[in-house]
Amino acid sequence: MALVLCTGVDPVLLKTRKLILQSAGHRVITAMDESAIAKACGQHAFEVAVIGQAAPESVKRRIMTLIRINCPAARVLELYRFSTGRILEDADAWLEVPADVPQELAERVNAMAAKLQADQQKGEIVAD
């Protein structure tokens, strides 16, 4: 399916998300800090990047900037809490947590990866 970058500050949540997405058929790389994110983006062409809900606003914004600079093709999914609301208005999609996270997270990533692939195919057709 897709190559997914999962970021966040809670190792338990990252492991859970990784297992959910892997069981849906995705390849998943996790990163907990800015240097790990930059390194991962330098080594992989991610299709989707998931930004965890537990990160403070300033950290989420720095992660978003890193992803946009270093993984420009990746679609960004922000996970957020109802109490804080969406922080990253320039993300490509959002998912409120808690939700039916296992199924909804996988479905959202599936849809984002499929849209990216379709957009890339359209670009290739136009370029010909």
Using pLDDT thresholds of 50, 70 and 90, give the confidence band for residue 102: low
- For residue range 65-95, what is the model confidence (pLDDT) as tens digits? 999 999 989 999 999 988 888 999 999 999 9
Lowest mean pLDDT across 22-31, 46-55, 104-113: 104-113
For 98, the domain range is 3-127
HEC-encoded secondary structure of 9-36: CCHHHHHHHHHHHHHCCCEEEEECCHHH
If one counts the domains in the chain, the total is 1
Distances 122 to 60, 92, 94, 127 between C-alpha atoms, Å = 31, 18, 24, 9
pLDDT on residue 126 = 40
What is this structure's pTM? 0.86
Query: Could you tell me the CATH number of the domain that includes residue 75?
Result: 3.40.50.2300
List the strands of the sheet with 3-7, edge to edge: 27-31, 3-7, 48-51, 75-80, 93-96
